[in-house]
């Protein structure tokens, strides 16, 4: 019985140490993120662009410049990013969209976008309002709709 309490105490101590370490690491990462957001706000500009295509692709296949891919963290290189191909003036460029904005971006239409470098932060329609796509129903939402007959 004594060994049980010793093992439990050791596990609790390890968990407390892990939580303290995670707290301080999270605090440091939050400061970095705030600094980056502040920098992006300072560099933002509004541009009129014609959206050609939008996809969610792995970073290596996105068509972004090699310098951007090299600067990305190793874990992010395998993850998929929302990529938008757009014509800005006479040039066709590849952008990375914010996850919140990606669903709002219409294909084959002209929009005013707030960009910071190659990052699309916000989108507004030029001639009309942007259509907000309907949110997909989850499993239980579909079952509830079938039962209620709606």
User: Over the stretch 70-129, which tens digit does the pLDDT of each residue have?
Assistant: 888 888 878 899 999 999 989 999 999 998 899 889 889 899 999 998 899 999 887 777
| pLDDT recorded at residue 150 | 63
Per the document, the length of the chain is 150
Find the helix or strand (DSSP H, E) in which 32 lies: helix 2-43
Q: Read out DSSP for 64-125?
A: --HHHHHHS-HHHHHSEEEEEEEEETTEEEEEEE-HHHHTTPPTTSEEEEEEETTEEEEEEE
| pLDDT recorded at residue 61 | 86
pLDDT greater than 90 at residue 141? no
pLDDT greater than 80 at residue 135? no
**Percentage above 90 pLDDT, the chain:** 46
Terminal Cα distance for the chain, rounded: 59
Q: What is the DSSP letter of 135?
A: P
**How, if at all, do strands 91-97 and 119-125 pair?**
parallel
| pLDDT recorded at residue 48 | 92
Least confident of 37-41, 42-46, 115-119, 131-135: 131-135
Non-local CB neighbours of 67 within 8 Å, separated by 6+ positions: none
Handedness of CA 47, 51, 56, 59 (dihedral sign): negative
Radius of gyration of the chain (CA): 23
**Nearest to 122, CA basis, from 106, 93, 94, 98:** 98
């Amino acid at each position: 019985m004594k060994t049980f309490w010793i093992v439990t105490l050791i596990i609790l101590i390890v968990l407390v140490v892990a939580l303290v370490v995670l707290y301080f690491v999270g605090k440091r990462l939050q400061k970095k993120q705030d600094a980056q957001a502040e920098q992006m706000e300072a560099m933002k500009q509004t541009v009129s662009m014609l959206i050609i295509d939008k996809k969610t692709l792995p970073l290596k296949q996105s068509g972004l410049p090699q310098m951007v891919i090299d600067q990305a963290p190793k874990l992010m290189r395998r993850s998929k990013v929302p990529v938008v191909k757009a014509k800005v003036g006479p040039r066709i460029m590849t952008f990375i969209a914010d996850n919140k904005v990606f669903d709002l971006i219409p294909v084959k239409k002209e929009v005013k976008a707030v960009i910071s470098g190659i990052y699309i932060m916000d989108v507004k329609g030029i001639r009309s309002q942007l259509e907000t796509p309907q949110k997909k129903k989850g499993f239980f939402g579909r079952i509830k709709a079938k039962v209620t007959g709606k």
